[in-house]
Amino acid sequence: MFRKILTSTALAAAVTLSVAPAAYAGKANDTLVWSTTREVAVADPYYNNTRELVIIGNTVWDGLLFRDLKSGEFVPLLATSYKWADNTTIDFELRDDVVFHDGSKFGPEDVVYTVNFVSNADNGVLTQANVKFLESAEQTGPNSVRIKLKEPFPAALAYFAQAIFMMPEGHYDSAPDGADGKKDYGAVKPVGTGPYMIQNVVAGDRIEMVRNEKYFKGGPKGQAGIGNLTFRTIKEMNTQIAELLTGGLDWIWDVPKDQAEKLGGMDNVTVTNAKTMRVSYIAFDVDGDSGDKAFTNKKVREAVAHAINRKSIVENLVGPASVVIDSACHPDQFGCTQDVKKWDYDPEKAKALLKEAGFGDGITTDIYAYRQREFTEAVIGDLANVGIKANLKFMQYRALRDLVWKGTTPLHHMTWGSNSIPDVSAITSHFFGGGRDDPAKDPKVIEALKVADTSVDPEVRKAKYKEALGIISSELYWLPMFTYAKYYAYTSDVDFTPTPDEIPRFYTAKWK
Amino acid sequence: MLIYALKRLSIALLVAITVSLLTFSMIYLSGDPAIALAGESATQQDIENIRKVYGYDRPIIVQYAAWLGNALQGNLGHSHYLKTEVSNVIFDRLPVTMTLGACALSFALALSIPLGVLAAMRPNTLVDRFALTLAVIGQALPSFWFALIMIFLFGVSLRWLPITGSASWLNFVMPSIALGYYVTPAVMRLTRAGMIEVLSSDYIRTARAKGLRPGVVLFKHALRNAIIPVVSLAAVQFGFMLGGSIVIETIFAINGLGQLAWESILRADLPMMQAIVLVLSCFYIVLTFVADLLNAFLDPRIRVS
Amino acid sequence: MDDAVNKTEQDQVVIADRTIDEPSPAERAKKRMLGHKGFMFGAIVLGVILAIAFLAPLISPHDPLDQQLARKLIPPIWHDHPKVTWAHPLGTDQFGRDYLSRLIHGSQISLLIGFAAMLISGVIGTAIGVAAGYFGGRVDMVVNFIITTRLSLPVVLVALAVVSLIGNSLWIVIAVLGLLIWDRFAVVMRSTTQQVRNLDYVAAAQAIGCSTPRIIFTEIMPNIVNNLIVVATVEMAHAIILEAALSFLGLGVQPPAPSWGLMIAEGKNHMLFDPWLVGIPGTALFILILSINLLGDGIRDITAPENRN
C-alpha cells in the first residue's frame, strides 16, 4: 500500500516536472522575461480585460491606427490613411503588405469581420467599453473599409489605435462549444499581425512569444529587437525582486517606492518611475445615501480636502512622475484642465471648518478602498490629525463597486485608468454623466458633458469639459488626488524606455 | 463492509453538497460576478450586457440547481473567466499541488518520525528536549515568514536553490520545507506519545523478555503499533495541506490548486470555486477512508472487527 | 463518518499526549507547576505581554497613529545609521509612525483576536461537542455530520473568501476565525464527554432525577475542563497564526488598528531591504505563540494524572 502511494506520487512528480519548461531569462538566451502579479489565462484582448492583455494586445496584434507618443497624434498602422466622412463614419485605406502570423494575407474583409464580430453584443466581448461605440463595417474597395459609429464619438481614434485589434476573417469560427452550449471565443488559438507571435500559453502561469520575423517594414512599430518575450505570473513582490536580482526575471513593475529606490542602488538593475493614465480620487456620499449624513455638508467635504496632504503622499509614497491633480481627469487627457478651484493643504482650516459644521468633536466614518492600501492609509493618517477617524474597509474591486452603486460608502478612495484612453470622455463623462457611478447627478454637469462628448469641434469640447470640471471641483463631488506613477525595475542589460500610458512597448526594447 | 462503505459514500456526498451550497451562496451573495468579469473600467451598461449574456441574471437558486444538476452528471461546468472546462484546469493544477503536498508530507514524516522515536526511547534526555524545542518553535513560526527567510538566504544570498518555477526537483525543496515543517510538531508528538505508550506495554516487555533483538522489538513490534494514529493524522494533514497551500504557492509562484482557488475567489469564478471546494472536500473524505484501510492493514484487530 | 471524526480525534491525541509522569496526588500540582520550566516560561511571558497590553496607553512613548511621512523608515537603535534616534528605539515604519508604540498597542489587538476567536469557537465547539457526547444517538449523528462538513471545508480558503468579499474589520476577522476553528473543541469535548457520561456518578445523578442541564454543568463540565483549557490554548495560538496568514495576503485586521499581523503585512514588502520591519513584529508574534503553546503543554503535563482519558 505504501509502495503504491509512493509510486503514484513519484509518477505525479515526474509528470509535473517534465511538462514544465525551464525559465531561462536574459541576454544570453535572447529572452526577455517580464512578470506581473496577475494571472493571465486567456490570451485574447477581447476576452480578457486585464492590463496584461492590453500590453500583449499591442504586442501581438495591431490596430488600424497607432498613437505617436511624441506628437500625441494618431498615425496609420494597418491603415495607410483615414478620413472622417461625417461625425459617425470613418473611411480607412489599408496596407496591402501585411500578413497574419498564420501566413494569411491581411485585407479589408478581416477588418469588416473583426468590427462586426466584436460590436455584436451577443458575442460577449468582455472589453465592452472599447467596442460599444461601433455600429458596423463594410468593404468599400479593394483596400478600403468604412466603419460606422453608433453616435458621434470623437475619441474613437484612440480606440482604433490601442484597443480594437484586427483578427483574421473567420477567426472565432473555430471556437469550441463551452459546456453551457455557448461558443468559447476566448479559447481560439491567438493569431495577429503584431511584432510578436504567441507560441505557448500555460494558463495562469506564462505566455511565451517569439519575434514575428515577417513583420511588415516601414510601420510605426517596426521589427522587434529581442527574439523571445515571455510573460510570467509571480504574485509575491518579494519573490519578483528576488528573481530579478538572481536573473530569473528581466523586467518587473509596480515596485513600491521605497524598495524601488533601494533596488536602484544595485549594479545590474535599472529603475525608472513613469507616468500612467490612472488617477486617484476620493468620492463623497454627497446625497447621504449611506446613512452617514456628514458629507452632505459641503463644509465637511472642504475640511477633508484641506486635511489631506496630497503633495506629501505624492512625494513620499507614489514617486516623482506623479502629480497632484485638482480636476477630475488626467492632465494628459484631451479636454482636461487644472484651471479649477484648488483646495490647499491646511489642517487648521480643516479643523475650523469641522467646528463650523458642528463636528467640533470629530467624525467617525468608514473609508472604502481596493488598491494600494498604503495610499489610503496615508489619507487615514492625515484625516486623523484633524479629528476625522476613518476606518478602512479594504475589499475586492467587484465587491466595492457593488457597494458604490448601492450608495453605501460614505467615503471611497478609488482609482480610474480610463483604459489608457487620452480623452476626458473616458473618465469625467463616465463618472458625472448621470449613471450609477455618478455621486452627485448634477444636471448642469450632465448637460455640459453631453455636449462635449458628442461635439466634433475641439474648442466646444474643451470649453464644455472645463465647465463640468469646474463645477465638480468647486462643489467637491470628488476630491481629485493625484496621478499614479509606476516604478519599473529591469535588468541593466536591456535598453528599454517606459511610456506614459502604462503600455510598455516591448517590441522597441533591445539588448545593450 | 459493503454496506458500511455505501453508507459512508452517501454521507460523503451529502457533505459535499452541503459544502458546495455553502460556497455558492457565500460567494454569490457577497459581490456580483458580472462586475468581476467586466473588469475595472466597465460602465453600468457593459455590466448589464455581460450579466445577461453569461446568465447571471437568473435567480441564484436556479443557477445553483443548474450547476448541481450538471455536477452530478460529472460536468463541473465552464469557467467564463478562463474560457475553458473547469475539469481541464483542475486536472492541470491538481498534480502540481499534490506533488507539493506529497513532498512536504514526506519531508515532515522523514523528520518527525525518527525524532519522535528517538525522543520516546530516551525520554527527558537531550534528544527529547531537542525534539520538543523543535516542535514548539515549529508551531510558533508563521510559514510565510519562514518561506521568505529561506528565499533570501538560499535563493538570493547563497544562490543554492532556484526560487520559482518547477523545472527540476530543486524547485520543490524550499516550498516543501516551508509547507511541511508546520505539520512536523504534531506528527512528532504523536509518534513520541504512541511509542512511549507501546514501549511500556505488556507485549513489548514480553518480546524483550523472550530475548528478541532490540531493533526487531522496536521496529517490528513497537513502531508498527505506534504508527497507526500517525497514519491517520498524516492523511488528514495531507488534505489540509492541499487546501492550505495558498500562501506557499503564492510566495513560490507555484501554479497549483491553492493559487487557482485564491484567484477564483477574487474574480468570482463560481464554477471554478465550486469545483475546487468540491474536489478538496472529496479529497478529505477519500483520505480519511484510505487511512482507515491502511490502519486495518497495519492493525489486524481492526480488520477482524 | 464516525471514523472521519475519529481520525481527527487522533489528530487531537496530540493534546492528550503526556510525558511519562508517574501518577502523583493532586496537591502536588502546584509544586509541579513551579517545577515545570515550560509552564513557568509560558506563564511569565504571557503575563508580561498581558501587562503590556493593559498598560499600553501608559507605557507607549508615542501615539501609534501619529503619521509623519517626513520621518519615515528610521531603523531601530541597534542599526548603524545616521537617522537612528532614541526617540524611536525600534525605529519608524513606512508612514513615519513610532514602531515601539505600534508594537505595544498591537499586543492588545493580537491578544484580543486570539482570545475572542478562541472564545467564540470554544462556545460553539463545546456546546455541540458536549451535546453529542452526552445525548448520543441522533444528536451525535447530526453533530458528526456538521463536524465532517466543517472539516472538509478548507479553512484558509473560506476565511479568505469571506474576508476578501465582505471587508475585514477587526470584528469580522474575529467572527470568521471563531466560526471556523471550533472543530477541535467539538471533537475533543465530544469524546471526553462520552467517557465521563458513562461514569458511575453521572449515572447516580441521573438516577436521583437531576435535570439534564444540572448534570451537564455540575457533573460533566468540571470533569472535562482540563481538556477544555488545553484545547483553548492551542486554538488561541491557532487563531493568532491564522490572522497573521490572512494579514500576509492583505486580508487581516485593517488600518488604523495596529495589529502585529498588520505590521507584518505592511512590513513584508520591505523584507529585502529593511528586514527589521517584519522581524520585530514577527519575533513578537513568535514569542506570544510560543508562550501560549508552552503554557498549554504545561497545563497538560501538570493535569495529565487527573485526566480521565
- Nearest-by-Cβ selection for A373 from C73, C164, C250: C250
Is residue B222 situated within a structural domain? Answer: yes
Where in the sequence of chain A do the CATH 3.90.76.10 domains occur?
A: 65-172
pLDDT-based confidence at A128, cuts 50/70/90? confident
How many residues would you count in chain C? 309
Question: Minimal Cα–Cα distance from B211 to chain A, Å?
Answer: 30
Residue of B nearest to C167 (CA): B30
Q: Do B234 and B132 share a domain, yes or no?
A: yes
pLDDT of residue C70: 81
A141 lies within 8 A of chain B by CB = no
Instruction: Centre a 10 Å sphere on the Cβ of residue A64 and count the other Cβ atoms it contains.
Output: 27
- Nearest-by-Cβ selection for B31 from A9, A402, A435: A402
Give the pLDDT confidence of B41-89 residue by residue, as tens digits: 566 777 777 777 777 777 777 878 877 887 777 777 777 777 777 888 8
Give the pLDDT confidence of B275-291 residue by residue, as tens digits: 887 788 777 777 777 77
Q: Do B224 and B138 share a domain, yes or no?
A: yes
Residue of A nearest to C163 (CA): A395
Last residue of a domain, one of B27, B57, B86: B86
Q: Which residues of B touch C250 (CB under 8 A)?
A: none
Is residue B144 situated within a structural domain? Answer: yes
First to last CA, chain C: 22
Last residue of a domain, one of B68, B86, B104: B86
Give the pLDDT confidence of A90-119 residue by residue, as tens digits: 999 999 999 999 999 999 999 999 999 999
Q: Which residues of A touch C277 (CB under 8 A)?
A: none
Is residue B48 situated within a structural domain? Answer: yes
Residue numbers of the domain that contains B52: 2-86
Q: Which residues of B touch C4 (CB under 8 A)?
A: 285, 288
C72 lies within 8 A of chain A by CB = yes
Residue of C41, C110, C144, C153 to mutate, interface with B, max B Cβ within 10 Å: C153
Scanning C145-174 for CB atoms below 8 A from A yields 164-169
Contact between chains at A234 and B164 (C-beta distance less than 8 A):
yes
Q: Do B155 and B48 share a domain, yes or no?
A: no
Q: Do B79 and B146 share a domain, yes or no?
A: no
pLDDT-based confidence at B12, cuts 50/70/90? confident
C268 lies within 8 A of chain A by CB = yes
Where in the sequence of chain A do the CATH 3.40.190.10 domains occur?
A: 8-60+174-274+487-511
Which grid coordinates belong to C36? 515545570
pLDDT of residue C7: 43
Scanning A229-288 for CB atoms below 8 A from B yields 232-236, 238-239, 242-243, 245-246, 248
pLDDT of residue B136: 79
Integer angstrom CA distances of residue B297 from B8, B12, B227, B276? 19, 23, 12, 31
pLDDT of residue B10: 77
Higher pLDDT, B210 or C141: C141
Q: What are phi and psi of B81, to 5 degrees?
A: -80, -45
A42 lies within 8 A of chain B by CB = yes
pLDDT at B225 over 50: yes
Q: Do B198 and B112 share a domain, yes or no?
A: yes
Element at A134 (helix H, strand E): strand A134-141
Q: Do B54 and B149 share a domain, yes or no?
A: no
pLDDT of residue A9: 43
pLDDT at A194 over 80: yes
Which grid coordinates belong to A447? 448637460
Q: CA nearest A415: which of A431, A436, A439?
A: A431
Q: How many degrees, rounded to 5, is the angle at CA A401 between CA A331 and CA A231?
A: 70
Contact between chains at A236 and B253 (C-beta distance less than 8 A):
yes
pLDDT-based confidence at B166, cuts 50/70/90? low
Is residue B245 situated within a structural domain? Answer: yes
pLDDT of residue B5: 66
pLDDT of residue B272: 83
State what percent of residues in chain A have pLDDT above 70: 94
DSSP state of B162: -
Q: Do B256 and B196 share a domain, yes or no?
A: yes
* Region of poorest pLDDT, from A227-241, B200-214, C20-34: C20-34
* Region of poorest pLDDT, from A362-376, C136-150, C248-262: C248-262
Question: Minimal Cα–Cα distance from C103 to chain B, Å?
Answer: 18
Question: Minimal Cα–Cα distance from B136 to chain A, Å?
Answer: 28
Q: Which residue has the cell 517545577?
A: C35
pLDDT-based confidence at A33, cuts 50/70/90? very high
- Nearest-by-Cβ selection for B82 from A41, A180, A436: A41
**Chain-centre distance of CA C22, in angstroms?**
30
- Nearest-by-Cβ selection for C17 from B30, B193, B285: B193
Is residue B81 situated within a structural domain? Answer: yes
pLDDT-based confidence at A3, cuts 50/70/90? very low
Question: Minimal Cα–Cα distance from A371 to chain C, Å?
Answer: 11
A175 lies within 8 A of chain B by CB = no
Q: Do B193 and B111 share a domain, yes or no?
A: yes
Q: Which residues of A touch C268 (CB under 8 A)?
A: 238
Rounded Cα distance, C121 and C137, in Å:
24
- Nearest-by-Cβ selection for A316 from C65, C69, C272: C69
CB within 8 Å of C89: residues ≥ 6 apart:
C76, C77, C100
Q: Which residues of C touch A399 (CB under 8 A)?
A: 164-167
Contact between chains at B44 and A435 (C-beta distance less than 8 A):
yes
Mean pLDDT over the full length of chain B: 78
B37 lies within 8 A of chain A by CB = yes
pLDDT at A384 over 80: yes
Give the pLDDT confidence of C103-119 residue by residue, as tens digits: 999 999 889 999 999 99
Does the domain spanning A8-60+174-274+487-511 belong to CATH 3.30.70.360? Answer: no
Question: Minimal Cα–Cα distance from B279 to chain C, Å?
Answer: 10
Give the pLDDT confidence of A273-328 residue by residue, as tens digits: 999 989 999 999 988 888 888 899 999 999 999 999 999 999 989 999 999 999 99
pLDDT of residue C120: 94
First to last CA, chain B: 10
Q: CA nearest C133: which of C220, C16, C217?
A: C220
pLDDT of residue B27: 65
Give the pLDDT confidence of A208-232 residue by residue, as tens digits: 999 999 999 888 999 999 999 999 9
Per the structure, how many domains does chain B have? 2
pLDDT at A239 over 80: yes
Q: Which residues of A touch B92 (CB under 8 A)?
A: 203
- Nearest-by-Cβ selection for B288 from C4, C245, C282: C4
Dihedral angle computed from the Cα positions of residues C189, C194, C198 and C200, in that order, rounded to the nearest 10 degrees: 0
Is residue B114 situated within a structural domain? Answer: yes
pLDDT at C51 over 90: yes
- Nearest-by-Cβ selection for A187 from B81, B83, B294: B83
pLDDT at C200 over 50: yes
pLDDT-based confidence at C229, cuts 50/70/90? confident
Residue of A nearest to B89 (CA): A203
**B192-213: average pLDDT:** 79
Residue of B144, B262, B279 to mutate, interface with C, max C Cβ within 10 Å: B144
**C184-191: average pLDDT:** 87
Determine contact, residues B218/B194, Cβ cutoff 8 Å. Answer: no
Q: What is the DSSP string of B213-234?
A: -HHHIIIIIIIHHHHHHHHHHH
Rounded Cα distance, A13 and B100, in Å:
8
Provide the CATH number for the domain around residue B295: 1.10.3720.10
Q: Buried b vs exposed e over A326-343: b needs ≥16 C-beta within 10 Å? A: bbbbbebbbbbbeebeeb
Higher pLDDT, B82 or C261: C261
Higher pLDDT, B282 or C48: C48
Last residue of a domain, one of B29, B62, B86: B86
pLDDT of residue A325: 95
Q: Do B207 and B230 share a domain, yes or no?
A: yes
- Nearest-by-Cβ selection for A381 from C65, C168, C169: C65
Strands A228-233 and A31-36: parallel
CATH code of A276-485, in short, is 3.10.105.10
pLDDT of residue A21: 40
Contact between chains at A393 and C167 (C-beta distance less than 8 A):
yes
Give the pLDDT confidence of A133-156 residue by residue, as tens digits: 999 999 999 999 999 999 888 889
The CATH class given to the A65-172 domain equals alpha beta
C233 lies within 8 A of chain A by CB = no
Residue of B15, B283, B305 to mutate, interface with C, max C Cβ within 10 Å: B15
Mean pLDDT over the full length of chain A: 88
pLDDT of residue C220: 82
Is residue B190 situated within a structural domain? Answer: yes
Determine contact, residues A105/A99, Cβ cutoff 8 Å. Answer: yes
Is residue B305 situated within a structural domain? Answer: no
